[in-house]
């Protein structure tokens, strides 16, 4: 339970102005608006305000989704960490951490505002993960299945939007989203393998929460 | 061409009459060879004079009714520059208005085409010189238009009047600040300058931005009150937030959590309070303002450090309590695996 306590205390308000934290920024190429300096860039330089707004909104929602998934796994680990399913959940959590890390980089690089609801998802995600895990391994897996299903549906609709708009322009972004979607589908299948079907109410509740997250974070 | 030339043939005589008036403006822009003069037929000269007045009034009312007058120059982060974006906007608003027969007559096109946004920007920039005389008012805009050789009735283009002037100035200052910060950043990346600590960077950036107000400091309270008018608040907030975002970005902030918001909120507070202090500061070269700014930034940095310490202490205390609990459980034998 140590980890649970630590997670609960990890409110970021204290790091508000820590100068050393700010100096952790990445390398040379990320700093000014000029495109030519970027070594790698997932997004194309935006043509106009509309495109920038659309891409910003997409990235904001994705980032919030990964953050929420991260917290859900943290909640599940807090309860089931020392049981047999611990290593499995840990493995899935590590992949989610990688996704979140990647989105953090993209947000920082492209000056995308993160969603204001992050503290809410911090608590709600952890609570969802912990509560479903309290129902046992099946509950945790059911939650995973529901959450991953709605995340992958969401990624699919983003892929569709980008493909309809201009596939060549968004090649790198499409690749990234496809890769993450495949990972999420893998988690979904893992959850199904491990007896998730037995608890359907959980599925409904968890997926509902994810839909709410997606709608809110687009705007806020 | 200006969109006022969009009128159909019955008015081409009237519009043609205005060309003389605009020649001065074109000369200023370094446009040459606009073959306008030769197209006017001699017999129209009398008619021209008579219609001149009517045309001016028509121009003002047409422009007022037809143009959408978007507030000038929103922040463009990644686009090539203000002019390209404003010309894109101009082109989209021009699509509904076909080019006049006048342009077809002269055959001039392309590089000489000035969008309405660009014209408005030019007028407002010229109007800034008259702010000390007329204040942030429509009279200043009229005076600015007259220096460009345009009629003072072209203030009709600006639906928001003085608000347009103030917002234009704010946008101009923010763009200048962003350029300065980008340039400094380049210097640091190239190793030609030392990177500053966050507090110092913020202080320098805010000071640079506030110093741009110095020429207009006597009339700045009027400008501030204009920015606080309800219909101007969305735009002024947008300008403020983009400026604060720029400053933090170049200070190196890449946070993607709630820090993003707390940092920007704090800097907004610092900027606004320092601006208020500056407006009533009478010390030489605003020394008191810079001292105030310095103290506010120090306060905020101290607060952040204190919060960090509190969190670290809290975590240590929790660790200690957990350890004590586990020890107790061990002692009482409750911790055995079942």
CB pairs under 8 A between A and B: 113
pTM over 0.90: no
Smallest Cα distance from B265 to chain A, Å: 11
pLDDT reported for residue B193: 85
**Mean pLDDT score across all residues of chain A:** 78
Nearest to B75 by CA among A52, A29, A60, A58: A52
What residue of A is the nearest CA neighbor of B318? A5
Assign A204 a pLDDT band (cuts: 50, 70, 90). low
- If one counts the domains in chain B, the total is 2
Distance CA B2, CA B4 (A): 5
Give the range among A95-109, A181-195, B172-186 with minimum mean pLDDT: A181-195
Q: Which of B158, B191, B217 is the last residue of a domain?
A: B158
**CA atoms of A149 and A218, how far apart (whole Å):** 19
Picking from A16, A20, A99, A116 by the largest number of B CB atoms within 10 A of its own CB, the best residue to mutate is A16
Cβ–Cβ contact A31 with B under 8 A: yes
B205 and B137 part of one domain = no
For the domain that residue B171 is a member of, what is the CATH number?
1.10.357
Same structural domain, B277 and B180: yes
> Any idea which of B13-17, B162-166, B226-230 has the lowest mean pLDDT?
B13-17
| B171 and B233 fall within a common domain | yes
Tell me the pLDDT band of B27, cut-offs 50, 70 and 90.
Answer: low
Residue of B79, B257, B319 with shortest CB distance to A12: B257
At residue B23, the pLDDT reads 60
Rounded Cα gap, residues B188 and B183, in angstroms: 9
Q: What is the CA radius of gyration of chain B?
A: 28
What local confidence, expressed as pLDDT, does residue A210 receive?
A: 67
- The closest alpha carbon to A127, from A178, A195, A184, A75, belongs to A75
When CB atoms are compared, the residue of A33, A49, A107 closest to B256 is A107
SS3 (DSSP) at A46 = coil
Residues B39/B41/B42/B43 CA torsion (nearest 10 deg)? -160
How far apart CA B142 and CA B158 sit, in angstroms, is 11
Cα-based distances in Å from B236 to A76, B85, B129, B138, B148: 45, 20, 22, 19, 27
Mean pLDDT of the A147-151 span: 88
> B218 and B187, same structural domain?
yes
Residue B78 lies in a domain: no
Cβ atoms A8, A83 nearer than 8 A: no
Our CA-based measurement puts residue B157 at a distance from the nearest CA of chain A, in whole angstroms, of 24
- Look at residue A42 in the predicted model and tell me its pLDDT: 80
Which candidate from A1, A32, A103 shows the least CB-CB separation from B182?
A: A32
In a domain, A31, yes or no: no
pLDDT of B287 strictly over 70? yes
Domain assignment present for residue A24? The answer is no
- Measuring CA to CA, how many Å separate B239 from each of A70, B116, B245? 35, 21, 10
Exposed e or buried b per residue across B21-50, where buried means at least 16 C-beta atoms within 10 angstroms of its C-beta: ebeebbeeeeeeebebeeeeeeeeeeebee
Q: Indicate whether A59 belongs to any domain.
A: yes
Stronger pLDDT, B57 or A167, i.e. the higher one: A167
Name which of A54-68, A184-198, B65-79 the model is least confident about. Answer: B65-79
What are the residues whose beta carbons fall under 8 Å from the beta carbon of A36, sequence distance 6 or more? none
From CA A180, how far away is CA A172, in angstroms rounded? 12
Handedness of CA B49, B55, B57, B60 (dihedral sign): negative
In a domain, A136, yes or no: yes
Lowest-confidence region among A107-116, A165-174, A190-199, B118-127: A190-199
Compute the average pLDDT of residues A49-70: 90
With b meaning 16 or more CB within 10 Å and e meaning fewer, what string describes B226-247? bbeeeebeebbebbbebbbbbb
pLDDT for residue B37:
46
Query: Is A13:B307 a contact under the CB 8 Å cutoff?
Result: yes
Residue B183 C-alpha from the chain's centroid: 19
> B129 pLDDT exceeds 70?
yes
Give A31's pLDDT tier (boundaries 50, 70, 90).
Answer: very low
Q: Are residues B312 and B167 in the same domain?
A: yes
Cβ–Cβ contacts within 10 Å for residue A53, how many? 11
- CB-based burial of residue B92 (10 Å sphere; 0-12 exposed, 13-18 middle, 19+ buried)? exposed
Sequential DSSP letters for B240-265:
HHHHHHHHHHHHT----SHHHHHHHH
Final residue before a domain boundary, out of B125, B141, B158: B158
Count how many domains chain A has.
1
Are B129 and B246 members of one domain? Answer: no
Domain assignment present for A61: yes
| Residue located via tokens 């959940």 | A89
A179 annotated as a binding-site residue:
no
Q: Which residue of B has its CA nearest to A5?
A: B318
Residue carrying the six token digits 């942030």: B136
Mean pLDDT score of chain B, rounded to an integer?
Answer: 78
Question: d(Cα B315, Cα B303) in Å, to the nearest integer?
Answer: 18
Express as a percent the part of chain A with pLDDT over 90.
33
- Which residue range forms the structural domain that includes residue A152? 49-218
Domain shared by B180 and B302, yes or no: yes
- Which chain A residue's Cα is nearest to B320? A2
User: Could you give the angle at which helices A171-193 and A86-109 cross, rounded to 10 degrees?
Assistant: 160
Has residue B83 been placed in a domain?
Answer: no
Q: Look at residue B64 and tell me if it is in a domain.
A: no
- Asked whether B151 and B4 are in contact (CB, 8 A), the reply is no
Provide the angle, in degrees to the nearest 10, between the axes of the packed helices B138-147 and B116-127.
110
| Residue B10 belongs to a domain | no
Q: Are both B262 and B294 inside the same structural domain?
A: yes
Do B192 and B323 belong together in one domain?
A: yes
Give domain status of residue B242, yes or no.
Answer: yes
Mean pLDDT across A48-64? 90
Is the separation of the CB atoms in B64 and B157 below 8 Å?
yes
Residue B39 is assigned to a structural domain of this protein = no
Q: Which residue of A has its CA nearest to B195?
A: A23
Residues B255 and B148 in one domain: no
Which residues fall within 8 angstroms of residue B93, CB to CB, at 6 or more apart? Answer: B3, B67, B68, B116
Tell me the residue range of the domain where B119 lies. 115-158
Q: What is the model's pLDDT at position A145?
A: 87
SS3 B177: helix
Let me know if residue A32 belongs to a domain: no
Query: Does residue A69 lie within any of the structural domains?
Result: yes
Band of pLDDT at residue B10, cut at 50, 70 and 90: low
B212: closest CA among B178, B247, B173?
B173
At how many degrees (to 10) do helices A49-80 and A137-165 cross? 170
B260 and B138 co-located in one domain: no
Q: Higher-confidence residue: A61 or B63?
A: A61
- Determine, yes or no, domain membership for A19: no
Q: Please, are residues B81 and B121 in contact by the beta-carbon 8 Å criterion?
A: no
Residues B272 and B191 in one domain: yes
Token readout for B124 is 């407002």
The answer to whether residue B304 sits within a structural domain is yes
A189–chain B nearest CA distance, Å: 30
Nearest-angstrom CA–CA distance, A126 and A67 = 10
CATH number (domain holding residue A194): 1.20.1260
Contact partners, residue A64, CB within 8 Å, separation at least 6: A114, A115, A117, A118, A121, A213, A217
For residue A63, what pLDDT is reported?
92
Q: Is residue B99 part of a domain?
A: no
């Amino acid at each position: 339970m140590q980890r649970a306590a630590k997670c609960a205390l990890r409110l970021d308000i204290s790091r508000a102005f820590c100068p050393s934290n700010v100096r952790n920024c990445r390398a040379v190429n990320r700093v000014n608006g000029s495109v030519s300096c970027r070594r790698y860039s997932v997004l194309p330089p935006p043509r106009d305000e509309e495109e920038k707004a659309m891409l910003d909104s997409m990235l904001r929602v994705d980032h919030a989704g990964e953050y929420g998934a991260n917290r859900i796994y943290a909640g599940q680990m807090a309860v089931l960490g020392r049981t047999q399913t611990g290593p499995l959940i840990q493995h899935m959590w590590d992949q989610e951490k990688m996704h979140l890390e990647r989105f953090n980089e993209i947000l920082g690089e492209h000056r995308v505002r993160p969603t204001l609801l992050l503290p809410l998802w911090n608590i709600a995600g952890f609570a969802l993960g912990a509560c479903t895990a309290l129902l046992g391994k099946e509950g945790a897996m059911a939650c995973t299945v529901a959450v991953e299903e709605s995340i992958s549906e969401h990624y699919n609709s983003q892929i569709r939007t980008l493909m309809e708009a201009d596939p060549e322009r968004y090649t790198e972004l499409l690749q990234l989203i496809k890769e993450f979607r495949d990972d999420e589908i893998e988690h979904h299948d893992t959850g199904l393998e491990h007896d998730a079907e037995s608890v359907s109410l959980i599925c409904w509740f968890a997926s509902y929460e994810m839909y709410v997250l997606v709608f809110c974070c687009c705007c806020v | 061409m200006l969109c006022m030339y969009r009128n159909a043939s019955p008015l081409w005589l009237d519009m043609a009459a205005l060309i003389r008036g605009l020649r001065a403006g074109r000369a200023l822009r370094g446009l040459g060879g606009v073959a306008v003069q030769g197209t006017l037929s001699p017999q129209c000269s009398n008619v021209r004079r008579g219609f001149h007045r009517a045309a001016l009034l028509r121009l003002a009312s047409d422009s007022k009714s037809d143009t959408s007058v978007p507030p000038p120059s929103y922040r463009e982060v990644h686009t090539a520059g203000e002019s390209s974006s404003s010309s894109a906007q101009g082109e989209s608003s021009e699509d509904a208005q076909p080019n006049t027969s006048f342009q077809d007559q002269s055959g001039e096109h392309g590089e000489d085409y000035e969008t309405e946004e660009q014209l408005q920007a030019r007028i407002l920039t010229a109007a800034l010189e008259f702010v000390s005389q007329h204040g942030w008012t429509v009279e200043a805009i009229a005076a600015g238009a007259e220096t460009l050789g345009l009629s003072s009735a072209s203030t009709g283009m600006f639906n928001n009047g003085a608000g347009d002037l103030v917002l234009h100035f704010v946008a101009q200052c923010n763009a200048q600040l962003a350029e300065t910060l980008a340039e400094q950043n380049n210097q640091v990346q190239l190793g030609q300058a030392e990177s500053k600590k966050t507090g110092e960077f913020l202080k320098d950036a805010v000071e640079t931005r506030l110093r741009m107000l110095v020429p207009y400091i006597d009339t700045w309270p009027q400008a501030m009150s204009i920015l606080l008018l309800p219909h101007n608040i969305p735009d002024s907030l947008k300008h403020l937030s983009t400026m604060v975002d720029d400053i933090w970005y170049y200070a190196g902030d890449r946070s993607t959590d709630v820090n993003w918001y707390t940092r920007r909120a704090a800097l907004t507070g610092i900027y606004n309070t320092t601006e208020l202090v500056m407006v009533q500061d009478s010390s030489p070269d605003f020394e008191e303002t810079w001292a105030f700014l310095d103290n506010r930034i120090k306060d905020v940095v101290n607060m952040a450090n204190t919060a960090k310490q509190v969190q670290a202490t809290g975590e240590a205390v929790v660790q200690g309590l957990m350890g004590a609990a586990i020890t107790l459980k061990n002692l009482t034998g409750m911790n055995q695996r079942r």
